[in-house]
């Protein structure tokens, strides 16, 4: 059963971009970057510039391929055909439902601040995580408008504690706490790629406004605006929050902190500040999960409409939602959680991150390359051939650097993931030929 697609506007689309990028990572990254010194800001600026280039490419692509959902999948397939399109959809889809396991783990970890028994009882931890996943699965099967409402609310709520720390932290800012440029014994040239690579994960999700394109009002206008606005807002939040925390907390405290935002908030507002930030971390991860659960149905639906995924994924309910695809994704997320019942939170998150990063970076590379190919084939030059080609080549160069910077373990797990999809692709082609 299907119906006329529900439509979302600029505010909701922008919320998907911001909400999908700002997860729990921002609450920990300042501590990760602290041992390197203020050279970290060069890493943020470099990565933000690369993200804005990719955001511009995705925005321009949405003007060329209009009303076609799938985002990275749709654009990669347009440039390279079914095989590359399938690999992008396959890896991206798996990264979504695996990521949702990471978000569930993060949410439970944040809630353990309020309920310490969650730390010591893995059964309670998993049951709570599963409950959260299925509540948000139900919300997303009710249509993208319902999902979008939740996304707007959680995006606003996750920004509140971050801005609280940024603004209030300025009054406690001390230049004495601020680190020198390079705190390591390595050269600036050697450390710069390290800090830039450390910030890569924080910008994954910039493409999300393009994924439900068929459900977006005036997509050729809305998607470019939402993608660029969302990416710029997130970049500013990341840079400003790191700057303030570097000036509020001494470097030895910051580098050793498991939750630097909470530590800063406690200095600002006592125990209340700590609870406030812990709640913000949980809401932040909830917002990410909400958006990615929606996309766990949208991406395979787009591939299924092109006969590259099983037909079940393109079925929609009376709300126009790819409900069966969403449920399948959440079932797989639940399996990931149950498989890791006995593992520690950190170990689970590290393994999940290795899979997710590569599965997001490869689509960026193919989209940037497809952008150049499509523009040449269709002779669409977006006002200036030199500017357009330069944008595409910069996107390719940045994506290659990002893949390299993600590390050998990430590349290994990512390639393994793509190889596992080959038999599935052959099976789909075989079924299509014999229909």
Inter-residue contact 294 to 140 (CB < 8 Å): yes
- Is pLDDT above 70 for 84? yes
pLDDT band at 353 (very low <50, low <70, confident <90, very high): low
Note whether residue 403 is domain-resident.
yes
Cα separation, 76 vs 258, whole angstroms? 39
Q: How far apart are CA 248 and CA 386, in angstroms?
A: 45
Q: How confident is the model at residue 358 (pLDDT cuts 50, 70, 90)?
A: confident
pLDDT at 107: 87
Instruction: Band the pLDDT of 415: cuts 50, 70, 90.
Output: confident
pLDDT at residue 359 in the model: 83
Overall average pLDDT of the 176-187 stretch? 92
Residue-wise pLDDT for 324-338, tens only, equals: 999 999 999 998 888
Q: Of 95-99, 112-116, 277-281, 312-316, where does the model show the most confidence?
A: 312-316
Residue 143: what are its φ and ψ, rounded to 5°? 115, 160
* 1 within domain boundaries: no
| Residue 188 to residue 433: CA distance in whole angstroms | 56
pLDDT above 70 covers a percentage of the chain that reads 94
Residue 346 pLDDT > 50: no
Overall number of domains in the chain:
1
Name the least confident of 152-161, 243-252, 259-268, 394-403: 259-268
- CA 247 from centroid of its chain's CA atoms: 28
Residue 232 and residue 206: Cα distance in Å, rounded? 10
The phi and psi torsions of 70 (rounded to 5 degrees) equal 115, -20
Q: What is residue 118's predicted lDDT score, i.e. its pLDDT? A: 83
Q: Give per-residue pLDDT as tens, 196-207.
A: 888 888 899 999
CATH number for the domain that contains residue 412 = 1.20.1740.10
pLDDT tens digits for range 107-165: 888 888 888 888 788 788 889 999 999 999 999 999 999 999 999 999 999 999 999 99
- For residue 335, give its domain range: 10-433
CA atoms 37, 39, 45, 51: torsion sign = negative
pLDDT band with cut points at 50, 70 and 90 for residue 340: low
Q: Report d(CA 391, CA 385) in Å as an integer.
A: 10
Q: Which of 345, 380, 362, 374 is nearest to 421 (CA)?
A: 362
So what's the pLDDT on residue 350?
Answer: 56
Q: CA torsion 240→243→245→250, rounded to 10°?
A: 180
Average pLDDT (243-252) is 92
Residue 4 lies in a domain: no
Q: pLDDT band for position 345 (50/70/90)?
A: very low
pLDDT digits (tens, 9 = 90+) for 85-115: 999 999 999 989 988 988 888 888 888 888 8
Mean pLDDT for 312-323 is 94
For residue 221, what pLDDT is reported? 95
Asked whether 115 and 328 are in contact (CB, 8 A), the reply is: no
Answer whether residue 3 is part of any domain: no
Find where tokens 């357009």 sit: 388
Question: Which pLDDT score is estimated for 283?
Answer: 92
Residue 341 counted as domain residue: yes
CA 401 to CA 396: how far, in whole Å? 9
Beta-carbon contacts of residue 295 (< 8 Å; ≥ 6 apart)? 96, 208, 211, 212
Q: Percent of the chain, pLDDT > 90?
A: 60
The most confident of the ranges 22-31, 38-47, 197-206, 375-384 is 38-47
Q: Is the pLDDT of residue 26 over 80?
A: no
Alpha carbons 329 and 300: distance in angstroms, whole number? 10
CA distance 285 to 291: 10
The verdict on residue 2 lying in a domain is no
Does residue 317 lie within any of the structural domains?
yes
- pLDDT one-digit tens code per residue, 214-228: 999 999 999 999 999
How does residue 351 score in pLDDT terms, banded at 50, 70 and 90? low
Q: Encoding tokens for residue 148?
A: 């979008």
For residue 179, tell me if it sits in a domain.
yes
Give tens-digit pLDDT for 286-298: 999 999 999 999 9
């Amino acid at each position: 059963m299907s119906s006329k697609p529900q439509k979302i506007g600029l505010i909701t689309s922008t919320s998907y971009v911001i909400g999908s990028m700002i997860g729990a990572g921002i609450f920990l990254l300042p501590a990760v970057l602290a041992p390197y010194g203020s050279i970290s800001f060069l890493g943020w600026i470099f990565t933000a510039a690369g993200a804005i280039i990719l955001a511009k490419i995705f925005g321009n692509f949405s003007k060329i391929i209009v009303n076609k959902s799938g985002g990275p999948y749709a654009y990669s397939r347009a440039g390279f055909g079914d095989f590359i399109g399938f690999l992008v959809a396959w890896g991206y889809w798996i990264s979504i439902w695996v990521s949702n396991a990471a978000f569930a783990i993060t949410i439970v970890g944040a809630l353990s601040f309020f309920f310490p028994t969650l730390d010591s009882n893995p059964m309670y931890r998993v049951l709570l995580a599963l409950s959260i996943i299925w509540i948000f699965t139900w919300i997303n099967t009710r249509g993208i408008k319902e999902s979008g409402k939740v996304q707007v609310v959680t995006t606003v709520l996750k920004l509140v504690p971050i801005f609280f720390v940024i603004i209030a932290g300025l009054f406690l800012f001390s230049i004495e706490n601020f680190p020198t440029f390079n705190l390591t014994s390595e050269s600036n040239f050697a450390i710069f790629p390290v800090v830039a690579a450390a910030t890569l994960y924080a910008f994954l999700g910039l493409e999300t406004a393009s994924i439900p394109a068929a459900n977006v009002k005036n997509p050729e206008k809305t998607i470019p605006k939402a993608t660029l606005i969302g990416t710029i807002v997130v970049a500013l939040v990341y840079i400003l929050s790191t700057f303030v925390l570097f000036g509020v907390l001494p470097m030895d405290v910051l580098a050793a902190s498991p939750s630097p935002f909470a530590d800063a908030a406690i200095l600002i507002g006592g125990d209340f500040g700590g609870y406030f930030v812990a709640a913000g971390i949980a809401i932040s991860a909830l917002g990410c999960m909400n958006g990615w659960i929606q996309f766990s149905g949208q991406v395979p639906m787009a591939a299924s409409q092109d006969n590259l995924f099983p037909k079940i994924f393109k079925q929609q309910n009376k709300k126009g939602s790819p409900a069966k695809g969403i449920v399948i994704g959440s079932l797989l997320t639940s399996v990931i959680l149950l498989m890791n019942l006995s593992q520690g939170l950190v170990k689970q998150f590290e393994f999940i991150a290795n899979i997710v990063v590569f599965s997001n970076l490869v689509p960026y590379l193919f989209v940037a390359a497809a952008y150049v190919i499509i523009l040449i084939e269709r002779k669409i030059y977006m006002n200036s051939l030199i500017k357009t080609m330069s944008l595409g080549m910069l996107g390719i160069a940045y994506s290659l650097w990002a893949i390299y910077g993600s590390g050998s373990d990430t590349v290994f797990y990512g390639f393994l993931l793509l190889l596992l999809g080959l038999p599935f692709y052959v099976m789909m082609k075989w079924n299509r030929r014999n229909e």
